[in-house]
């Protein structure tokens, strides 16, 4: 009888250990959390000083580009971490594959294509001129002999250099467009040349500064923004497919209308693909 009790105890203990093992095994491999593949979080770098595309609202990065990228990432099945690193560093991070891609109203051009890959175009822009009210600058040709502030490394800088010469001392280069506009307001520059939406947004939101925007379609060609990837990135195809998907399902138009109060020309954007 005593021997039978010991045997029973061992049997029960063995079953207990077996059950514990099964529980641990289930938590490691069989739970809902373990069985579902976690979404990869993409590192997206930007220069958050370019409203309305990306700017800081307290400690949060907001803007059209932010909403666009979040929608694209959701469509593609990714999470994103958007990090404000500044204009020049974002190019380094993308080139060195520290970041998955860059997002900062980046114009697609042949020079950048030598080093980076770009998504499908997602925004049409052109450079415009920002001047004080009453300025005698009426066209791009009037910039000659004037001090012009630009953001360094942008197509605005390239456009002004094309007009005034690459080494012209009257071209004042700044880390971002906000600083270029501050130079204009302080009297250190006669004009700022930057993307139309940026200067238009600034003039509209700061009427007390009494600044006006000048368009010269003959001097400044249209340009398209794209998300910028390391050369050979396998992620580009997935993102391109997601961009087309939000074009088709209306998400892009909704975001565009929310920020700019008008509908995008989707047919033009698709034609650039």
Domain that holds residue 207: 127-214
Share the mean pLDDT of the chain: 89
Name the one residue in this structure whose structure tokens are 């003959």: 218
Q: By percentage, how much of the chain surpasses pLDDT 90?
A: 84
Question: Looking at the structure, do residues 119 and 240 belong to the same domain, yes or no?
Answer: yes
13-17, 55-59, 139-143, 263-267, range with the lowest pLDDT: 13-17
Question: Looking at the structure, do residues 116 and 142 belong to the same domain, yes or no?
Answer: no
Q: What is the model's pLDDT at position 205?
A: 94
> Is residue 36 assigned to a domain?
no
Instruction: Evaluate if residue 102 carries a pLDDT over 70.
Output: yes
Among the three residues 194, 214, 234, which one is the final residue of a domain in this structure?
214
Structure tokens at 184: 């204009």
Cis-peptide, bond into residue 183, ω within 30° of zero = no
Phi and psi of 215, rounded to 5°? -105, 135
pLDDT in tens, 199-252: 999 999 999 999 999 999 899 989 999 999 999 999 999 999 999 999 999 999
Question: Looking at the structure, do residues 200 and 237 belong to the same domain, yes or no?
Answer: no
114 compared with 1, residue with greater pLDDT = 114
Task: Report, as an integer, the average pLDDT of 98-104.
Answer: 98
Q: What is the model's pLDDT at position 104?
A: 97
> Is residue 20 assigned to a domain?
no
Q: What is the model's pLDDT at position 18?
A: 45
CATH number for position 207 = 3.40.190.10
Whether residue 128 contacts residue 196, with contact meaning beta carbons closer than 8 Å, is answered with yes
26 compared with 4, residue with greater pLDDT = 4
Among 42, 41, 74, 66, residue whose Cα is nearest residue 245? 74
pTM of the prediction? 0.79
Question: Looking at the structure, do residues 116 and 171 belong to the same domain, yes or no?
Answer: no
Question: Looking at the structure, do residues 147 and 119 belong to the same domain, yes or no?
Answer: no
Instruction: Evaluate if residue 158 carries a pLDDT over 70.
Output: yes
Helices (H) and strands (E) in the chain, counts: 11, 15
Task: Please state, in angstroms and rounded to a whole number, the distance separating the CA atoms of residues 261 and 83.
Answer: 27
> Is residue 187 assigned to a domain?
yes
Q: What is the model's pLDDT at position 39?
A: 74
Instruction: Evaluate if residue 44 carries a pLDDT over 90.
Output: yes
Instruction: pLDDT band for 29, please (50, 70, 90 cuts).
Output: very low
Q: What is the model's pLDDT at position 193?
A: 98
> Is residue 271 assigned to a domain?
no
> Is residue 70 assigned to a domain?
yes
> Is residue 35 assigned to a domain?
no
> Is residue 273 assigned to a domain?
no
Burial environment of residue 170 by CB neighbours within 10 A (0 to 12, 13 to 18, 19 or more):
middle
Q: What is the model's pLDDT at position 13?
A: 44
pLDDT in tens, 172-188: 999 999 999 999 999 99
Instruction: pLDDT band for 23, please (50, 70, 90 cuts).
Output: very low
As for how many domains the chain has, the answer is 2
pLDDT in tens, 70-89: 999 999 999 999 999 999 99
Instruction: pLDDT band for 37, please (50, 70, 90 cuts).
Output: low
Instruction: Evaluate if residue 17 carries a pLDDT over 80.
Output: no
Question: Looking at the structure, do residues 55 and 87 belong to the same domain, yes or no?
Answer: yes
> Is residue 163 assigned to a domain?
yes
């Amino acid at each position: 009888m005593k021997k039978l009790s010991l045997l029973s105890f061992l049997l029960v203990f063995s079953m207990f250990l077996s059950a514990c093992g099964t529980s641990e095994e289930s938590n490691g491999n069989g739970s809902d959390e373990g069985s579902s593949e976690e979404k990869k979080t993409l590192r997206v770098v930007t220069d958050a000083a370019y409203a309305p595309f990306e700017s800081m609202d307290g400690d949060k990065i907001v803007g059209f580009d932010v909403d666009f990228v979040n929608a694209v990432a959701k469509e593609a099945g990714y999470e994103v971490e958007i990090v404000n690193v500044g204009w020049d560093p974002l190019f380094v991070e993308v080139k060195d594959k520290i970041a998955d891609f860059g997002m900062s109203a980046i114009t697609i051009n042949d020079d950048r294509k030598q080093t980076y890959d770009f998504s499908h175009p997602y925004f049409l822009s052109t450079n415009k001129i920002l001047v004080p009210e009453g300025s005698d600058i009426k066209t791009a040709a009037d910039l000659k002999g004037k001090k012009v502030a630009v953001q360094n490394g942008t197509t605005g800088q390239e456009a002004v250099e094309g007009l005034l010469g690459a080494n012209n001392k009257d071209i004042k280069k700044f880390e971002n467009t906000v600083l270029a506009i501050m130079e204009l307001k302080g009297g250190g520059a006669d004009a700022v040349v930057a993307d139309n939406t940026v200067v238009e947004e600034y003039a509209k939101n700061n009427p007390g500064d009494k600044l006006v925007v000048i368009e010269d379609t003959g001097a400044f060609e249209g340009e398209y923004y794209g998300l910028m990837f390391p050369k050979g990135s396998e992620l580009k195809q997935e993102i391109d497919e997601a961009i087309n998907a939000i074009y088709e399902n209306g998400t892009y138009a909704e975001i565009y209308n929310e920020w700019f109060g008008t509908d995008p020309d989707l047919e033009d954007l698709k034609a650039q693909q």
